[in-house]
Structure 1
Amino acid sequence: MNAVMNIVITTTPIRPVPTAYPPFGSMAVICALRRAGFDPYFYDIDGLRPPFEEVEAFVRERRPDVIGISAVVSTAYAYVKRLVAAVRKASPRTKIVVGGNLAASSEILLRLAGVDVCVIGEGEVAAVQLMQTLEDMKDGPLDRRSLAGVMGIAFLDAAGEMVFTGYETRVPPAEVFRPDWELLEKRSRISNYFVDPMTRAEFIRDPRSAQPHRQGKKVATLITAKGCVARCTFCHRWDKGYRPIPPDQIVAHIELLKKRYDVGYVMFTDENFGSDRRHVLELLEKLKPLDILWTVGGVRVRSMNLEVLKKMREAGCVSVFYGMETGSPRILEVMEKKATLQDNLNAAKWTREAGLFTIYQMILGMPGEDSSSVQETIEFLKTVTQDAFESPRSVMSINYIQALPGTPVYECARQMGLIGRTLLEEEAYLLHISNVDAADDTRMLNFTDEDYLTVRSWRRRIVLEVMRHYHEHNRTRTPSFASFLWRLATRNIKKTADHYSVDAEKIREAAIEEYGKGGYFNLQRDLAYDSIVAYFWPLRGLILSAWLLQDEFRRLPLSEFLGHLADWVRARLRPRRAPGRGESLRILMARTAPPAATKTEEAMKPLREGR
């Protein structure tokens, strides 16, 4: 009976460009459905990037009973809404289900985008129960009473009020990660997910990558655990708690990838690598014999010490990326990082001593941020980058805070009126940030008491101050101004020549530029920084203002630009406010949030809070 139900599971574009991150969530749901006797078809829009006309033709031809849309990022809203409209037009009887982080905006999806059901939290168990329920109504309307018995979903009842049935039971650790790579071979572009490691600067930096037996090997993306022990106020998450995958299972998976796809490098993209000390030490011992090089994409500073970092390098680790976020103790409290400035400094010092590479990832513009907290971040970055082997520009990634549904930051934006207070205004905001990565600071919201132009200047100010300190601390040689002008004049010629060069330094530079694609890291590569630091430092304030005003004048409508300029002038005439105290934004929002006035608002409350 299940086999005849026509189910399509599809992804949506995660970032402006395809990524090497496999659609693990969709793959897990498909595997769960198959174990339950269903036969879903996988359409990897994120990996294939077909023209939208091709997507519409697929829906017309396939006419599924149910289409499950995976929207793992909230910036996918515009695409999801467009896809839902296309499905409604091509196949009106199709039941439309949306899961992923975007489902934190379930009311908008259900009322304004035309979605039938949202899956909240992990999808494996909920998807099976939902499909078993929808199977009985595939040729008719939704039976909302039956849907009420499915855990982990949200939908509109007969009265038009939203219902949330509560979070579904989580899958056990041993079942968290069972990707079916054959599925990607058949239904996606498998080459997206096994790529050349020399597109990653951290692998290029490590001399072990030059060893003969590693040549031609591919890099794969995996996880060692699911979940995070933290609840940062800017981060949306459905998973509660931390589930490490058994080390033997991880090792067996890597061995499979080595044989099948010639993998010799791995990017572990955990949110919280090493949180379970016993688990990570056991894993490190079992990774050693595999002779792979690997990176870690998400580590809490309090999870590491020098001994563990040294063991990681011995087991093949080349880089560790932390969520340090700020150099201000006060803003660390607002973010609810559960870490101190000293924890950040220790992690930076130990990582360098262990011989591992890192990029210092900062977030600017949190509620309560001001010039004093920005200066604290500058001093922190000066300290951790002054002994780097290269310019701080290559090891600093600075983004402005992005308000994502299901986070205290988003609720703060609602309370402040930055994204409006009506459903239509919220939807307009989701459309505004769609298909935009965090590196695009032109879509930022100003949560601070500072004027917009001042906030927009912070990133450039940080980069300049930290680069100047590095220059003075290391007494780096300043090239002649004539040689700098020549470098500037021949920049485009050099880029063309680099396409035909195999020089290691040029490969490394290309890899650093690759970092920025899709918003992974936001490294500042503009040569203007070099010129200001080296030749025009006394004029930096004037140049920085002119640089910013020129960019804003080109980008904004004249009336909006003049409004920001007037705010900038007024800000310099009013007295400075004293910095506020550091308090978790989650606690502040819980204290100031208005009580739920409707059944829908009550149902949305746990979704807005996250887990």
Structure 2
Amino acid sequence: MRRHKDICRKQESWFLTIYAHGMLPIECHKPRDAGLLQCRRTAMPDKVLLIKPPTNYIPISWGYVIATLDHAEIPYDFWDTHRPLQPNEYYFERLRRGEYLAVATGGFVYSTNWFVEVANYIKDIAPQTPFVLGGSITRDVRLELLFQHLKLDFAVIGEAETSFPYLLRALATGSGFEQIPGLAFRGLDGSVVRNKPVRFNLDEQFWIPSYKRIDLQYYLDGYRHHIVPGLGRLMTVLTGRGCKGGCSFCSPTIGHFMPRSVEHILLELEIFQHIYDFESIGFATEIFFNRPEDIEHFCREYMKLKRRKPWVCAFRMDQPPELLPLMKEAGCVLVNVGLESASPPILAKLKKGCTVEGFKRVYDAAKRIDLIVDAPFMMTNEDETAADLKQTFDFLIENKIDSNFGLVGTYPGTAIYHRAMQKGLILDEWDYITHTMREIVWSSPSIMDTPYLNITSMGHEEMFRTVFSQSRRYYSFLYHEFQAKNLTPVIINSTPPALGLQGECLRCGEPVTLPVSHGYGVKVIEYKFICNRCHQKNFMHFVDLPQTRAYYEDLGQSLRQAGKLIVVGTGKNTQDFLLYDIFGITFEQVVGVLHWPGEAEHKHFYWLPLYHLAELEHVDYDAMLLADVTPDEAQSLLSMDIPWGNKPMYELAPRKMECSPE
């Protein structure tokens, strides 16, 4: 916490320096389109309590809320429930004593249950304190639902700068709030009143987030970009707000894209480089800039800075790929270009004006100049068929694209959500939001037993079998295509000594050593790393070491000839064996998973039935593969006298390697 206080002093010092040199107006002038912050210097003896949900991503939106209150000179306490700077009782006691003018929180729809819990608790201990909700949830979920199910007094449905300080002034002075833009509340007749939001022009004046009440360095230290973690700590910055729009699956934006001044963005970077420690920059806006000339202007001005850091940004596939060389020259390392689907009819429904050919032009242009492309896509899209999904994976494999992907989440407020409502797929909105809708990881073994809204043209079982069969095909391609070079086992100098895998990046030759993981036996399949030097993903093939090759060639031949397989265990080896085809085992050959020892908590493991030992008497199988069992458990299972179990058993992990530590 001492480090956080030192950073706060640095931030205050820097802002005083900026004021002194006339770089930032001391007074907050009224923007032409918003009428912002005339409430400054109003006498307000009471504080507002801001409560941040327990999320671990960099809280840039809360930085802007705090900056709004700072500019309006409104006192506040900030309670970061993920990284609190005071004990929780500090805030509870002040709530009980009625010291807060209002309590405000906000964020994404996925935090709905947390918002309900917080609102209930606040109203239990401080029933007279107004509760305010903001963030994207108030734009995405119908306001009638929020006011019905949350103990909610006000909702900020626009940008905080144009609504929140006016609401607080009204509460402090007892004046009316009925005309405040971007505010929702219950009218005298009990109906929800919704005032039209007014946009805040970030380009009107120099306006940056304030993190003096947030331990931002903690968040920076813990965050790495998932594609290029070698870039180190990444500071997120907005180039504007809003989006070009048109995506049927995306949370509704606050409106059309409004860019910030390039000069203001660069000044923000200059300030934060003197306050915080980070090695790279992530421009977190939905689009980098809308106009090509703005991208060009930013790049040329950024190259003039003395202290430059590598950066990443989004890039739409309908923007000119001719911009990419200049972006790379200016320090851009990665562009995020959402593929979403390589099936033309599906992509046309997802993203207006975007085509597979347009993505291919951008992707090829980036690869020619060695610029990394993050090309995420989605499975289980609206009306998607098995053929559509196969077409997407065919495209990725044919073009050797390393991509990230997940299941579509039918998010409230989106076009696909409204169509799902019209089709009768969502019968109870609140139940869907609080129980069914969640951030689902497709590779979770229990996914088949998890509630999920299917908006494809496939049935539930066909959908998941297609997801797993195509994902397995793609993962197997990545495993063989991106193989590290010169792999050898080594003894890692540790206490006790441990076995490791040493290899070289297939692209740049950077040496890397990974420990051989031990849990229920040795981890066999998925050893991968992203090179810190060139950011290339690599796979180390444990099964192809000189010390293991003969064992796995024999094992593979035995498994292919074995017929129907039961895989024993529910850990990492079983997951990898099912998601990577490294032995030439067909998708249909595995008929189930045995949860042993113990009882199974779910009915499925991925697409397969999950059994306990007694049930195998009624299962048609020919052999067992012991994947996630300890050597003692394996020996116990091998020695069991089971009348119906007199079938071959094979072990995925070798008992001993030639260079294994004693």
* Structure-1-length-normalised TM-score: 0.71
Matched, 1:130 2:167: yes
The verdict on how the C-alpha distance between 1:78 and 1:256 changes in structure 2, with shifts beyond 3 A counting, is: same
| Residue 473 (structure 1) shift | 7.5
| Residue 297 (structure 1) shift | 4.3
1:327-346 superposed Cα distances (whole Å, 9 cap, x missing partner)? 11111122133201101111
| Residue 33 (structure 1) shift | 3.2
The verdict on how the C-alpha distance between 1:270 and 1:298 changes in structure 2, with shifts beyond 3 A counting, is: same
Q: Please name the residue that 1:541 is paired with.
A: 588
| Residue 438 (structure 1) shift | 5.8
The verdict on how the C-alpha distance between 1:62 and 1:54 changes in structure 2, with shifts beyond 3 A counting, is: same
| Residue 2 (structure 1) shift | 3.1
Q: Please name the residue that 2:100 is paired with.
A: 64
Q: Please name the residue that 1:609 is paired with.
A: none
1:470-496 superposed Cα distances (whole Å, 9 cap, x missing partner)? 67879999999xxxxx99995337999
Q: Distance in 2 between matches of 1:431 and 1:123?
A: 25
Matched, 1:120 2:157: yes
Q: Distance in 1 between matches of 2:144 and 2:199?
A: 23
The verdict on how the C-alpha distance between 1:454 and 1:35 changes in structure 2, with shifts beyond 3 A counting, is: same
| Residue 256 (structure 1) shift | 1.6
AA at the equivalent of 1:541: E
Q: Distance in 2 between matches of 1:314 and 1:125?
A: 38
Q: Distance in 2 between matches of 1:81 and 1:3?
A: 28
1:322-370 superposed Cα distances (whole Å, 9 cap, x missing partner)? 2211111111122133201101111221221121223321112122111
AA at the equivalent of 1:296: V
Q: In proportion to residue count, which structure has more helix?
A: 1
Matches within 5 A, 1:273-422: 273-288=288-303, 289-305=305-321, 307-385=322-400, 395-420=402-427
The verdict on how the C-alpha distance between 1:266 and 1:402 changes in structure 2, with shifts beyond 3 A counting, is: same
The verdict on how the C-alpha distance between 1:531 and 1:281 changes in structure 2, with shifts beyond 3 A counting, is: closer
Tell me the secondary structure at the aligned position of residue 103 of structure 2. Answer: strand
Please say if residues 8 and 43 of structure 1, whose CA atoms lie closer than 8 Å, have aligned partners that are also in contact. yes
Matches within 5 A, 1:184-263: 187-195=213-221, 201-204=227-230, 218-263=233-278
Q: Please name the residue that 1:464 is paired with.
A: 472
Matches within 5 A, 1:128-167: 128-137=165-174, 146-167=176-197
The verdict on how the C-alpha distance between 1:178 and 1:330 changes in structure 2, with shifts beyond 3 A counting, is: same
The verdict on how the C-alpha distance between 1:323 and 1:51 changes in structure 2, with shifts beyond 3 A counting, is: farther
AA at the equivalent of 1:452: H
Please say if residues 133 and 147 of structure 1, whose CA atoms lie closer than 8 Å, have aligned partners that are also in contact. yes
- Indicate the RMSD between aligned Cα atoms, in angstroms: 4.2
Q: Distance in 1 between matches of 2:53 and 2:482?
A: 47
Matched, 1:429 2:432: yes
The verdict on how the C-alpha distance between 1:332 and 1:87 changes in structure 2, with shifts beyond 3 A counting, is: same
Tell me the secondary structure at the aligned position of residue 373 of structure 2. Answer: coil
Matched, 1:29 2:29: no
Tell me the secondary structure at the aligned position of residue 173 of structure 1. Answer: coil
Please say if residues 217 and 276 of structure 2, whose CA atoms lie closer than 8 Å, have aligned partners that are also in contact. no
Tell me the secondary structure at the aligned position of residue 396 of structure 1. Answer: coil
Please say if residues 176 and 226 of structure 1, whose CA atoms lie closer than 8 Å, have aligned partners that are also in contact. no
Q: Distance in 1 between matches of 2:161 and 2:482?
A: 54
Please say if residues 126 and 151 of structure 1, whose CA atoms lie closer than 8 Å, have aligned partners that are also in contact. yes
Please say if residues 270 and 296 of structure 1, whose CA atoms lie closer than 8 Å, have aligned partners that are also in contact. no
Q: 2:148 aligns with which of 90, 111, 122?
A: 111
Q: Please name the residue that 1:4 is paired with.
A: 45
Please say if residues 476 and 580 of structure 2, whose CA atoms lie closer than 8 Å, have aligned partners that are also in contact. no
The verdict on how the C-alpha distance between 1:58 and 1:343 changes in structure 2, with shifts beyond 3 A counting, is: farther
Q: Distance in 2 between matches of 1:338 and 1:525?
A: 43
| Residue 469 (structure 1) shift | 4.9
Q: Distance in 1 between matches of 2:433 and 2:579?
A: 38
Q: Please name the residue that 1:80 is paired with.
A: 115
Q: Distance in 2 between matches of 1:294 and 1:62?
A: 48
**Higher RCO (Cα < 8 Å, 6 or more apart):** 1
Matches within 5 A, 1:554-565: 556=602
- Larger mean CA deviation between 124-133 and 51-60 belongs to 51-60
AA at the equivalent of 1:90: I
AA at the equivalent of 2:179: G
The verdict on how the C-alpha distance between 1:164 and 1:526 changes in structure 2, with shifts beyond 3 A counting, is: farther
| Residue 88 (structure 1) shift | 0.2
1:97-152 superposed Cα distances (whole Å, 9 cap, x missing partner)? 10111113222221111101111121211112222222244xxxxx9xx4432221
Tell me the secondary structure at the aligned position of residue 221 of structure 2. Answer: coil
Please say if residues 274 and 303 of structure 1, whose CA atoms lie closer than 8 Å, have aligned partners that are also in contact. no
Please say if residues 315 and 337 of structure 2, whose CA atoms lie closer than 8 Å, have aligned partners that are also in contact. yes
AA at the equivalent of 2:582: A
Please say if residues 251 and 413 of structure 2, whose CA atoms lie closer than 8 Å, have aligned partners that are also in contact. yes
Tell me the secondary structure at the aligned position of residue 318 of structure 2. Answer: helix
1:209-244 superposed Cα distances (whole Å, 9 cap, x missing partner)? 6xxxxxxx8431112222211221111133211122
The verdict on how the C-alpha distance between 1:252 and 1:437 changes in structure 2, with shifts beyond 3 A counting, is: farther
Q: Distance in 1 between matches of 2:360 and 2:536?
A: 29
Gaps of 5+ in 2: 1-41, 489-499, 502-513, 524-528, 540-571, 610-662
Q: Distance in 1 between matches of 2:188 and 2:456?
A: 42
| Residue 188 (structure 1) shift | 2.5
Structure number with bigger Rg = 2
The verdict on how the C-alpha distance between 1:164 and 1:504 changes in structure 2, with shifts beyond 3 A counting, is: closer
- Larger mean CA deviation between 34-43 and 158-167 belongs to 34-43
1:75-105 superposed Cα distances (whole Å, 9 cap, x missing partner)? 0100000000111011111001101111132
Q: Please name the residue that 1:592 is paired with.
A: none
Please say if residues 483 and 538 of structure 2, whose CA atoms lie closer than 8 Å, have aligned partners that are also in contact. no
Q: 1:169 aligns with which of 178, 199, 205?
A: 199
Q: Please name the residue that 2:54 is paired with.
A: 13
| Residue 47 (structure 1) shift | 4.3
AA at the equivalent of 1:301: M
Matched, 1:45 2:78: no
The verdict on how the C-alpha distance between 1:366 and 1:470 changes in structure 2, with shifts beyond 3 A counting, is: closer
Tell me the secondary structure at the aligned position of residue 220 of structure 1. Answer: strand
Please say if residues 593 and 608 of structure 2, whose CA atoms lie closer than 8 Å, have aligned partners that are also in contact. no
Q: Distance in 2 between matches of 1:2 and 1:548?
A: 68
| Residue 194 (structure 1) shift | 2.6
AA at the equivalent of 1:3: M
Please say if residues 52 and 80 of structure 2, whose CA atoms lie closer than 8 Å, have aligned partners that are also in contact. yes
Please say if residues 88 and 94 of structure 1, whose CA atoms lie closer than 8 Å, have aligned partners that are also in contact. yes
The verdict on how the C-alpha distance between 1:428 and 1:461 changes in structure 2, with shifts beyond 3 A counting, is: same
Tell me the secondary structure at the aligned position of residue 464 of structure 2. Answer: helix
1:441-471 superposed Cα distances (whole Å, 9 cap, x missing partner)? 5443111231112212333323322345567
The verdict on how the C-alpha distance between 1:473 and 1:93 changes in structure 2, with shifts beyond 3 A counting, is: closer
1:37-74 superposed Cα distances (whole Å, 9 cap, x missing partner)? 42222222344499977764563366412111122x10
Tell me the secondary structure at the aligned position of residue 265 of structure 2. Answer: helix
